[in-house]
Amino acid sequence: MLDYITSFLGMNTTPGQAGNVFWAVVYIFVVFGGVSVAVVAMNWLERKALAHFQVRLGPMRVGPHGLLQPIADAVKLLTKEDIIPEEADRFVFWIAPLIILCASFTVYIVIPFGPTHAITDLNIGILFMLGVSSLSVLGVVMAGWASNSHYPLIGSLRSSAQMISYEIAMGMAVVSAILMTSLNKSGTGTLSMIGIVEAQEQQQIWFLFKFFPLGFIAFAIFAIAMVAETNRAPFDLPEAESELTAGFHTEYSGLRWSLFMLGEYAAMIAVSSIAVTLWLGGWLRPFPNTLTGETWDLVFSLLPGLTFLALAAIAFVGVIRMPKHPYFRIQTAGLAGFGAVLGLIGLVLFVPPVRDRIQDIFWFIAKVAVFMYLYIWYRATFPRYRFDQLMKVGWKVLLPTAIGVLILTAILGIVL
Amino acid sequence: MGDQITKDPYISHLELGEPDKTFLDSNELIINMGPQHPATHGVLRVILKLDGEKVLGTECVIGYLHRGVEKIAENRTYTMFNPYVDRMDYVAAVSNGLGYCEAVEKLLNVEAPPRAKYIRVILTELNRLASHMLWLGTHALDIGAMTPLFYTFRDREEILKIFEKYCGARLTTHAFRIGGCQYETYEGFERDVKKFLDCVPPRIDEYEELLTTNRIWVERTRNVGKISAADCKALGVTGPVLRASGVKWDIRKAQPYAAYPEFEFEIPTGANGDTYDRYMVRMREMRQSLRIIRQAVERIPEGPIMAKVPKVMKPAVGEVYHSIEAPKGELGYFIVSDGSTQPYRVRVRPPSFVNLQALDVMVRGQLVADVIAVIGTLDIVLGEVDR
């Protein structure tokens, strides 16, 4: 038994490929738990960052700097009355949020956080990912239909039209990146998520810069389409608050509503992961070909720890700036404790064996975090597109450009 | 469900055919927007007849905020009714008060002293800025840009602080009295106003930076909710909506009141009469307001602030109509006096109510999302629509 469990560690591959069920289950729990925590953290970060964009403070009351706000929200949502409208189709109404949730969580099976840090490595990974993530449109349609109400119906129709049209441009952009993987010496391309990153490692270039500006345009198309795909501002028409009150989930409340939100944020992280994997070199550290050598390797391997130490430092600055009033004693202590935990994590990350294993995960998450920040930034800056304009952008701008990029990439791949 | 909504008496205007058993089978969809809806700026109910996303017709249902202000006036003395007008357009309470006070002054044949007129102009223009800032924030929020709301509220706060220091109230100020002003300006009033004037232009630049050249904003507003000058005149539409259609009509210039003849300012006009033009007109109006306030603060005369007004007001039998340029358009008061201490009849011509009529003309044939944009651009306040 122990052999079975430990046998995986020496294999240097993903548990799915190794056929090691125990480690696969462990990975699934770690990844899904991590994603759930990331969603909660993202919730807090979004509210906080958005507030600072908008000259306000955001959550400040629950815990130091509102750090416990997501937990308070979760408790509120879980204890809230769960309303199912009388005229709703109960079964469909019940199952719609689950479909969205499943669709957006299942894709994490193939996301490579590192060369061996994935639950499994499917040879059709990217295809699997696109396919499963587009299943969530089914949940949206079902939610809108089952509510048996006007606003959700319009919201869900908009949503399905939008997701389907942007998926095409998105797919074209993805294909052009996949074409680039076949430009190695053996000339065989791959659809595997790990294979795509390894191709970038072999070719010594992130696909973002490959055939400049072709890779960049494909990436830009994907970056736009993925915002539309996840129904986020400025493409948040399906849930346009000011028009459709809340779009397809108007009739949902409490736990079911929170499942929608959980699914939405998980989907955001998932599509950002695709973008990072395809164009930004996945788990590869920045400047792999210019800043090479032992010294630079060491410097980059220290960065994860330093990041956590910096976060701890921010927390401690917050502790110093806390009002010196007995009322804030618990909050101050809590923030200090949070800072201490972050600092401790930072110190652990300096230990060489941990350092070596955690690096790729760190770079992957850091790149995804940039996308998450962009999502918030978009939301603070842009007005919302109108439905016909959205379709125009999708079909008349993004799709032709994506096809053009695809053709040019193919030609360049043959010529060069 | 389809049955319930088509039984509504208001829907009969929309000329529906026989209702289908379920609404999903029919091509035309009736949607009830409001009275509880985040983008109808209060309790406006709009019934939309839709073909997919296209609007075939609208029907506004108002009256959810009706408080009978005009009837109340008949049971109050002229002085007692003064605070009530603030509650009509509560985001531009100062303008409402100015219109009422000047109408009664006209009826009494009294004229406010010059200093009072200057104070009135300063406060009214500050109020215009506050009203336009609130409009911009909510309009942008309706179209999906949430950040301008917080920027404009931050700056509106400065104006409200000046009001609070001046008369103790922030929103329903009751700043003016019949015959002048109740309060002398407080110590440091001019300094506060000048400080505000210096800090606001870059802030307006900031709003414009977020919106004016923003591609999405331009696409969402240009050629949306178009209305021609002829339609505007036919419907009695006034204010920035009329000016955006190219008509240079501003009561501050056309029928000057208070101290306005003494100031230099321009009337910004648009050309197309679409939502973008209305946005630009209001943005430029904000800068013109700043210009007026600056001139007024620099030239404010010394002297009394209250004219001689009888303690018990008993205007001679007669009637008067006086209108001012409120932030939203022409705000008129028609007052009939029967010689007693109470008005026989007060009729208010609220700009929001009249402008709201244009909604149907503006949104017919456009998309649902445009209805939101147009309600925002009309800048209605339901307290004023319903009174």
pLDDT at residue A196 in the model: 85
First to last CA, chain B: 32
The minimal CB distance from B216 to the residues A379, A380, A385 is found for A385
- In this prediction, residue B281 carries a pLDDT of 92
- Check CB contact of A148 with chain B, cutoff 8 Å: yes
Dihedral sign of CA atoms A32, A36, A41, A46 in order: positive
How far apart (Å, rounded) are the C-alpha atoms in residues B212 and B206?
Answer: 10
Give 10-residue mean pLDDT values along chain A (416 residues).
Answer: 70 72 84 88 89 88 84 88 82 88 87 82 85 85 83 80 85 87 74 84 81 86 88 75 68 84 88 89 79 79 88 90 84 90 89 81 89 89 84 88 90 80
Q: Are residues B80 and B28 in the same domain?
A: no
Q: What is the pLDDT of residue B12?
A: 53
Residue A294 lies in a domain: no
Number of structural domains in chain A:
1
Q: Do B75 and B55 belong together in one domain?
A: no
SS3 A99: helix
Position with higher pLDDT, B19 vs B93: B93
Residues of chain A with C-beta less than 8 angstroms from the C-beta of B369:
237, 240, 243, 384, 386-387
Same domain, B138 and B10: no
A85 close contact with B: CB closer than 8 A: no
A386/B23 touch (CB, cutoff 8 Å), yes or no? no
Classify burial at A408, counting beta carbons within 10 Å of its beta carbon; exposed 0-12, middle 13-18, buried 19 or more: middle
Question: Within an 8 Å CB–CB cutoff, is residue B31 touching chain A?
Answer: yes
| The pLDDT of residue B3 | 44
Q: Which chain A residues are Cβ-neighbours of B210 within 8 angstroms?
A: 381
Q: Which of B27-31, B110-114, B264-268 has the lowest mean pLDDT?
A: B27-31
CA-to-CA distance for B286 and B103, rounded, in angstroms? 26
Residues near A92 by beta carbon (within 8 Å), at least 6 away in sequence: A142, A145, A146
pLDDT digit string, tens, across residues B139-159: 888 888 888 889 999 999 999
Inter-chain residue contact A382 with B145, CB threshold 8 Å = yes
Same-domain pairing of B221 and B268:
yes
Spatial neighbors of A365 by CB under 8 A, at least 6 apart, are A113
**CB-CB neighbors (< 8 A) of A237 in chain B:** 369
Q: Between chains, do B372 and A245 touch, taking CB under 8 Å as contact?
A: no
Q: How many helices (H) and strands (E) does chain A have?
A: 17, 0
Strand partners for B59: B47
What is the predicted pLDDT for the residue at B14? 54
Whether B3 has its CB under 8 Å from any CB of chain A: the answer is: no
Supply the range of the domain harboring residue B364. 69-386
What pairs with residue B348 in β-bridges? B333
Residue of chain B whose alpha carbon sits nearest to that of A50: B147
pLDDT band at B4 (very low <50, low <70, confident <90, very high): very low
Alpha carbon distance A262, B113 (integer Å): 64
Chain B interface includes A80 (CB < 8 A): no
Tokens of B1: 């469900």
> What is the CATH number for B371?
1.10.645.10
Within 8 A of A54 by CB-CB distance, chain B residues are 146-147, 149-151
A383 at interface of B, judged by CB pairs closer than 8 A = yes
Residue B315 Rama label (left phi>0; alpha psi -120 to 50; beta):
beta
Residue A311: alpha-carbon gap to chain centroid? 21
A359, part of any domain: yes
> What one-character DSSP code corresponds to residue A203?
T
Which residues have CB under 8 Å from B268's CB, separation 6+?
B243, B280, B281, B284, B285, B288
Cβ neighbours of B314 (radius 10 Å) = 15
Interface of B with A in 100-159 (CB under 8 A): 140-147, 149-151, 154
B245 in the same domain as B181: yes
Residues B16 and B97 reside in one and the same domain: no
CB contact under 8 A, A237 and B39: no
Cis amide bond preceding B343, omega within 30: no
On whether the CB atoms of residues B352 and B90 are closer than 8 A, the answer is no
Instruction: Provide the 8-state DSSP code for A394.
Output: I
Domain boundary among B15, B38, B61: B61
Subunit contact A87:B1, Cβ cutoff 8 A:
yes
Q: Are B321 and B43 in contact (CB under 8 A)?
A: no
Closest C-alpha among A212, A193, A377 to residue A276: A193
Q: Which residues of A touch B368 (CB under 8 A)?
A: 154, 243
Q: Domain for residue A78, yes or no? A: no
pTM here is 0.83
Boundary of a domain, candidates B28, B44, B61: B61
Is the Cβ of A55 closer than 8 Å to some Cβ of chain B? Answer: yes
B293-350 per-position pLDDT tens digit: 999 988 888 888 888 888 888 888 888 999 998 898 899 999 998 888 888 989 999 8
Q: Do B63 and B375 contact (CB within 8 A), yes or no?
A: no
- A233 to chain B, any CB pair closer than 8 A? The answer is yes
Residue written as tokens 């479909």?
A99
Task: Nearest by CB to A381, from B53, B147, B151: name it.
Answer: B147
Question: How far off is chain B from A160, nearest CA to CA, in Å?
Answer: 14
| pLDDT class of B1 with cuts at 50, 70, 90 | very low
- The reply to whether A47 touches chain B by the CB within 8 Å rule is no
Q: Which residues of A56-86 are buried (b: 16+ CB within 10 A; e: fewer)?
A: eebbeebbbbbbbbbeebeeebeeeeeebbe
- Residue A386: list chain B partners with CB under 8 A: 219-220, 367, 369-370
Chain A residues near residue B217 by CB distance under 8 angstroms: 383
Give the C-alpha separation, A144 to A142, whole Å: 5
Residue of B4, B31, B216 best to disrupt the A interface, most CBs of A under 10 A: B216
Residues whose CB is less than 8 angstroms from the CB of residue B311 and which lie 6 or more positions away in sequence, other chains included: none
Across the range B32-46, mean pLDDT stands at 78
**CB contact at 8 A, A172 and A402:** yes
DSSP track, A296-365:
HHHHHHHHHHHHHHHHHHHHHHHHHHS--SGGGHHHHHHHHHHHHHHHHHHHHTTSHHHHHHHHHHHHHH
* A chain contacts of residue B39, beta-carbon cutoff 8 Å: 242-243
> B147: distance to nearest CA of chain A, Å?
6
CB burial string B161-190: b at 16+ within 10 A, e below: ebbeebbeebebbbbbbbbbbeeebeeebe
Q: Which of A154, A243, A375, A389 is best to mutate for the B interface (most B CBs within 10 A)? A: A243
What gap in Å lies between CA B133 and CA B158, rounded to an integer? 12
A319 lies in a domain? no
Among residues A404, A415, A8, the alpha carbon closest in space to that of A172 is found at: A404
Could you tell me if residue A22 is inside a domain? no
Residue A169 in tokens: 């441009």
Any domain includes A345 = no
Strand B28-33 versus strand B45-51 pairing type: antiparallel
What is the number of domains present in chain B?
Answer: 2
Task: Tell me if B241 sits within 8 A of B232, measured CB to CB.
Answer: yes
Residues of chain B contacting residue A236, judged by C-beta atoms under 8 Å apart? 144
Instruction: State the nearest Cα–Cα gap between A374 and chain B, in angstroms.
Output: 15
Structure tokens at A88: 């709703």
- Give residue A204's identity as a one-letter amino acid code: Q
What is the maximum span of chain A, computed from C-alpha positions, in angstroms? 72
pLDDT at A93: 87
A96 Cα to chain B: minimum distance (Å):
20
> Is the Cβ pair A245, B370 closer than 8 Å?
no
Cβ distance B149 to B137 under 8 Å?
yes
Nearest to B196 by CA among B226, B223, B163: B163
| Chains A, B: CB pairs < 8 Å | 85
Say if residues B128 and B289 touch (Cβ distance below 8 Å).
yes
Residue B135 has pLDDT above 70, yes or no: yes
Minimum-distance CB partner of B143 among A158, A383, A387: A383
Query: Does residue B220 sit at the A interface (CB-CB below 8 Å)?
Result: yes
Give me the pLDDT at residue A340, please: 93
Look up the domain containing A375 and give its range: 84-284+351-415
Dihedral angle computed from the Cα positions of residues A287, A290, A293 and A295, in that order, rounded to the nearest 10 degrees: -60
Distances (CA, A) of A75 to A80, A260, A266, B129: 8, 16, 19, 43
Is pLDDT of B9 > 80? no
Which residues does chain A have within 8 Å of residue B32's beta carbon, measured at their own beta carbons?
150
| Chain B nearest C-alpha distance from A52 (Å) | 10
pLDDT digits (tens, 9 = 90+) for B170-218: 888 888 888 888 888 888 888 888 899 999 999 999 888 888 888 888 8
Q: Is residue A222 part of a domain?
A: yes
**Which residues from chain A sit within 8 angstroms of residue B141, using beta carbons?**
242
Q: How far is CA A132 from CA A34, B42, B58, in A?
A: 20, 42, 41
> Residue B170 and residue B188: Cα distance in Å, rounded?
18
* A236–B142 CB contact, under 8 Å: no
Name every chain B residue with its beta carbon within 8 A of the beta carbon of A234. 144, 216
Query: What is the ipTM, given to two decimal places?
Result: 0.80
A-chain residues near B35 (CB < 8 A): none
Q: Residue A239 burial (CB < 10 Å; 0-12/13-18/19+)?
A: buried
Return the HEC string of chain B.
CHHHHHCCHHHHHHCCCCCCCCCCCCCEEEEEECCCCCCCCCCCEEEEEEECCEEEEEEEECCCCCCCHHHHHCCCCHHHHHHHHHCCCHHHHHHHHHHHHHHHHHHHCCCCCHHHHHHHHHHHHHHHHHHHHHHHHHHHHHHCCCHHHHHHHHHHHHHHHHHHHHHCCCCCCCCEECCEECCCCCCCHHHHHHHHHHHHHHHHHHHHHHHCCCHHHHHHHCCCCCCCHHHHHHHCCCCHHHHHCCCCCCHHHHCCCCCHHHCCCCCCCCCCCCHHHHHHHHHHHHHHHHHHHHHHHHHCCCCCCECCCCCCCCCCCEEEEEEEEECCEEEEEEEEECCCCCEEEEEEECHHHHHHCHHHHHHCCCEHHHHHHHHHHHCCCHHHHHC
Q: Residue A115 corresponds to which tokens in the numbers above? A: 């060369």
Query: Within this chain, do residues B136 and B105 fall inside the same structural domain, yes or no?
Result: yes
Q: Does A6 touch chain B (CB under 8 A)?
A: no
**Domain shared by B48 and B80, yes or no:** no
